[in-house]
Amino acid sequence: MKKQTIPGNRQKGLSTVGIIAVVGIFGLLVVSFLKIFPMYYDNIKLKSALEALQHDSKVDPKSKRAIWESLSKRLYVNEVRSVAINDVTMKRKNGQTTVTVTYETRDDFIGNLFIGAAFSESIVIDR
């Protein structure tokens, strides 16, 4: 009759080093998401402000000052701080005003590293 040998030291699951690696990778992904999401959320709010500006009949599309004042009020209410007046260009041609916002935003990541993103949004006011 044969003896059945039962292995005594079979690993069942992750080792401590494996668990630390998984937690570290998960933590890095969470930190990355928490740093990147606000940049894209601000861009979504900028798009919303531009669309509201496009449909606002009170804004004179011939006046760059009126367009900037209306846009800056909307950005202030939505707490978009990364867009400055230098990032906004307005061109009038054939009865249409094109408003383009091109900006770059950066945020600290870990240590000396940073995360950056560049955005460009545009609308046409046809009045």
CA-nearest of 107, 104, 123 to 37 is 107
At 23-62, the pLDDT tens digits run: 999 999 999 999 999 999 999 999 999 999 999 999 998 9
Average pLDDT over residues 72-94: 94
pLDDT value of position 15: 86
Average pLDDT over residues 91-118: 93
Given a cut of 80, whether residue 113 has pLDDT beyond it is: yes
What CA–CA distance (Å, rounded) separates 40 from 67? 23
Q: What pTM does this model have?
A: 0.80
Region 74-101: mean pLDDT is 94
* DSSP secondary structure code for residue 7 in this structure: -
Region of poorest pLDDT, from 39-48, 106-115, 117-126: 106-115
Supply the Cα-derived Rg of the chain in whole angstroms: 26
117: nearest Cα among 69, 83, 89:
83
Q: Which two tokens stand for residue 8?
A: 């005594």
Query: Binning pLDDT at 50, 70 and 90, where does residue 116 land?
Result: very high
> What tokens were used for 59?
């804004």
98-105: which pairs have CB atoms within 8 A and are 24 or more residues apart? Answer: 98/122, 98/123, 98/124, 98/125, 99/50, 99/53, 99/67, 99/71, 99/123, 99/124, 99/125, 101/46, 101/50, 105/39, 105/42
